[in-house]
Amino acid sequence: MACPERVTIVAIGPLTNIALLLKVFPETKERIECISMMGGGISHGNSTELAEFNIYADPEAAQIVFNSGLPTIMAGLDVTEKAEVTVREIESLKEKGRVSRMVGELLSFYNESGRQFGFTDSPIHDMCAVAYLLEPELFSGEYQFVNVITDEGRARGLTFADKRLVCGREKHVLVLEDVDRDRFAAMLFEALERLDGNTAQNVPNA
């Protein structure tokens, strides 16, 4: 509330705290520019066949956020699973600076764990919510009215878009659908190189 400019919220986990903010302190709503979130999936899920993890963890909170009327960017599985770094790119990090080597080790572990879910390369899910704010031209998508199934049952946590030409509801959620994978990966690696340079200057023998 004290910020002189409207605040952009980046949400990369379940939306419990954001929903509580809107319910307990509704006056903050007018101070929020937009919410850029990683979560959901129009075409499929991952925690279940229909629900993505962050939404499935608290679908009631997600419904509150989606129905808040706030401008929202939804980086769901539809786009995040296209935002991959390849095994070769991960291996190349191990020949670079200190930060890149550490990230390379983390991504190698992540890549191995992802294989049990059928992935060959590694989607960098959460980064999409930040990358869109930095370079929105990397992404394409469509404004939709998005809602969440909160009932118990197989569909709990499912995010769905009303794609009727006339749906009668405000389409205030930008559902990201595609990403320029090469430029997305380049953004990540350029950031790591800058961190490598900063670390080398500040840490002896880095």
Q: Where are the domains of the chain?
A: 7-83+124-196, 84-123
Q: Given this model, what pLDDT does residue 206 score?
A: 47
Tokens 């910020």 locate to 3
Say yes or no to pLDDT of 34 above 50. Answer: yes
Q: Given this model, what pLDDT does residue 201 score?
A: 60
pLDDT tens digit string along 91-124? Answer: 999 889 999 999 999 999 999 998 988 899 999 9
CATH topology of domain 7-83+124-196: Inosine-uridine Nucleoside N-ribohydrolase; Chain A (3.90.245)
Query: Percent of the chain at pLDDT above 90?
Result: 85
Q: Given this model, what pLDDT does residue 39 score?
A: 97
Q: Annotated catalytic sites, by residue?
A: 125
Written in H, E and C, the secondary structure of the chain is: CCCCCCEEEEECCCCHHHHHHHHHCHHHHHHEEEEEEECCCCCCCCCCCCECHHHHCCHHHHHHHHCCCCCEEEECHHHHCCCEECHHHHHHHCCCCHHHHHHHHHHHHHHHHHHHHCCCCEECCCHHHHHHHHCHHHEEEEEEEEEECCCCCCCCCEEEEECCCCCCCCCCEEEEEEECHHHHHHHHHHHHHHHHHHHHHHCCCC
Average per-residue pLDDT in the chain? 93
Q: What is the mean pLDDT of residues 61-71?
A: 96
